[in-house]
């Protein structure tokens, strides 16, 4: 039995943060029903598509909606609204990421549907008490406002967005974690609770090293490329045939790096003697190492560094890492029978739970393909 077996979740969510929350709960055993407008979740229209000539299905949509069911409802239609409110009344959790106030106007706001033992989780750009509550927010906007872009990119360069939508997915992680944490208490006390999960606050929350640096020193953290503000060498380098990273986080590891590049005397150089020295002279140190690393292939350097216990690794493309031996060894990728596409790889829930295989009961649902849920939950 999975940890959230028997938990009923209604998801009013689109694109990334809310659907990712719902998928995490579904992966842990919850019965998640996605309530979609007649046009469907916006991400259903995102390429790439599986297309058989009669129907097409988005691979992006499939990636964050497995193990769910889907029903269609036009909440402006009184009949559809009544059915959906019955569904919510039978649920333990509601997850939504509409703009604040939208679901209230449509008749499924927190005060309108709350009942004993119920968690209502609202994910939004800025949260319900922010002066920006009415402003629209997408991941790139949140990354910019959070401070993340001020430390992402090369020194002296312009703002750079993280390639993965970390604003959306960090909020989704916080939301799922919080729902799972509060649900037992809410059920035991037979009350309802609303969770207010702002994307902006969640990104600031995972920026603990940067905020503490600012408060502790009064100095703004800066862009360092792949370098680290408190460790060196701790960054990416270019070998003769590809890029790799080195993380020599203490004096012993630094001495090993110096030995690998054939310059053991660097470990005794006054500029690089201690960790603080190396950070203060990290640009000089990086230039010296880069010249030497460019003389041989990446696999050579990684093998030599790993032989001495120095953490290091290749800079992979997604194709590289998905074909790496790590993936089958950890069981990270499974297969789902996705509509139109057929058997399709998917990255499963990445935390291994002893005695349980990752849940792969259902692929992402076809739009409105699960009307039977009204009979199952509501007896109607």
Q: Give the pair of three-digit tokens for residue 286.
A: 């990086």
Residue 86 a catalytic site member: no
Q: Which of 168, 196, 277, 357 is catalytic?
A: 168
Residue 373, C-beta contacts closer than 8 angstroms, at least 6 positions apart: 33, 69, 71, 87
- Residue written as token pair 């990636």: 63
3-class secondary-structure state, position 365:
coil
E strand map for the chain: 8-12, 31-36, 49-51, 56-58, 68-72, 93-96, 118-124, 192-198, 234-238, 243-247, 312-314, 333-338, 342-347
Q: Give the pair of three-digit tokens for residue 363.
A: 């692929």
Q: Can you tell me the distance from the alpha carbon of 258 to that of 201, in angstroms, rounded to the nearest whole number?
A: 41
- The DSSP line for 141-201 is HHHHHHTGGGGSSSTT------SS-HHHHHHHHHHHHHHHHHHHHHHHTT-EEEEEEEHHH
Which positions are annotated as active-site residues? 168
């Amino acid at each position: 039995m999975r940890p959230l077996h028997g938990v009923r979740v209604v998801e009013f969510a689109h694109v990334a943060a809310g659907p990712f929350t719902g998928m995490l709960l579904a992966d842990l055993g919850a019965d998640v029903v996605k309530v979609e407008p007649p046009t469907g979740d916006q991400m259903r229209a995102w390429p790439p598509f599986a297309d058989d000539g009669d129907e097409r299905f988005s691979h992006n949509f499939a990636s964050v909606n497995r193990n769910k069911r889907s029903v269609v409802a036009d909440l402006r239609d009184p009949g559809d609204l009544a059915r959906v409110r019955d569904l919510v009344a039978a649920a333990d959790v509601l997850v939504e990421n509409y703009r604040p106030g939208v679901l209230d106007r449509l008749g499924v706001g927190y005060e309108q549907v709350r009942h004993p033992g119920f968690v209502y989780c609202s994910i939004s750009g800025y949260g319900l008490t922010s002066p920006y509550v009415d402003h629209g927010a997408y991941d790139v906007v949140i990354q910019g406002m959070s401070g993340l872009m001020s430390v992402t990119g090369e020194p002296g360069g312009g703002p750079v967005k993280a390639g993965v939508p970390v604003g959306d997915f960090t909020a989704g992680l916080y939301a799922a974690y919080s729902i799972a944490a509060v649900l037992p208490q809410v059920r035991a006390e037979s009350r309802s609770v609303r969770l207010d999960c702002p994307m902006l606050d969640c990104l600031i929350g995972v920026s603990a090293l940067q905020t503490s640096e600012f408060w502790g020193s009064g100095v703004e953290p800066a862009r360092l490329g792949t370098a680290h503000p408190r460790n060196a060498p701790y960054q990416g380098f270019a070998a003769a045939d590809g890029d790799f990273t080195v993380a020599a986080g203490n004096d012993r590891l630094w001495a090993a790096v110096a030995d690998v590049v054939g310059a053991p005397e660097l470990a005794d150089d006054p500029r690089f003697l201690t960790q603080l020295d190396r950070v203060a002279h990290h640009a000089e140190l990086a230039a010296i190492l880069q010249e030497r690393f460019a003389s041989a292939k990446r696999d050579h350097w990684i093998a030599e560094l790993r032989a001495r216990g120095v953490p290091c690794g290749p800079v992979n493309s997604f194709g590289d890492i998905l074909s790496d031996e790590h993936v089958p060894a950890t069981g990270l990728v499974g297969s789902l029978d996705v509509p139109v596409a057929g058997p399709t790889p998917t990255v499963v829930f990445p935390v291994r739970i002893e005695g349980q295989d990752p849940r792969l009961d259902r692929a992402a649902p076809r739009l409105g393909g699960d009307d039977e849920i009204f009979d199952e939950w509501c007896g109607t």
